[in-house]
Amino acid sequence: MEGRIPLIGEKFPQVEVKTTHGKKTLPDDYAGKWFVLFSHPADFTPVCTTEFVAFQKRYDRFRELNCELIGLSIDQVFSHMKWTQWIKENLGVEIEYPIIADDRGQVAEMLGMIHPGKGSNTVRAVFIVDDKGVIRAMLYYPQEVGRNMEEIVRIVKALQVSDANRVALPANWPENELIGDRVIVPPPGDEETARQRLQQYEGYDWWFCYRELG
């Protein structure tokens, strides 16, 4: 993967990082767990502060999904620690997840988190990595727009449901405008299965069938 950004479906590149919780090796230290790695442009900035609080407010929900959180920016550890201390003292929220101090920018460069038009700042990137160390989703936001944490929780849950049930998830699941919280049956691979599909499942056509989860 040298020389290019890793892709969905590839292994997260192994890297040793310095964090507010000490040194960690990704993805090995999270073997058996999912994790969400998210970068922010800089400490002590207002949009990033709202994001860190929002992630922390949902940390229990991520952990219920066997998923950890890891922040990252091109700041030093002492800056991260002073910022999280400020958040605790002024906003009453203790940031419990580690923050990577990527002060040399090596991790950000490797993962495509540096925006060439924004100096050395990292963009708002999100990498969702499964319990086998495989990248399952990537999201990129501009500096000016804070992330929607509910969508990130939804993606983790949806991927886990898809894996466990071999189904696809519709738009806005579990509140889809057409099929509600039901899930989509994978399309048939041959004509005979296609003919039987609407006898086995509800659907709009043989290629668009769905079922209850569970």
Our answer to whether residue 67 is catalytic in this structure is: no
Say how far apart CA 21 and CA 52 lie, in whole Å.
16
Paired tokens of 160 = 């886990």
Catalytic residue among 36, 48, 87, 159: 48
Q: Which helix (H) or strand (E) holds 209?
A: strand 208-211
3-state DSSP call for residue 204?
A: strand
Q: If 0-12 CB within 10 Å is exposed, 13-18 middle and 19+ buried, where does residue 80 land?
A: buried
**Residue 88, φ and ψ in degrees, nearest 5:** -65, -45
3-state DSSP call for residue 76?
A: coil
Say how far apart CA 17 and CA 101 lie, in whole Å.
7
Measured at the CA of 19, the angle between CA 140 and CA 130, to 5 degrees, comes to: 50
Active-site residue set = 48
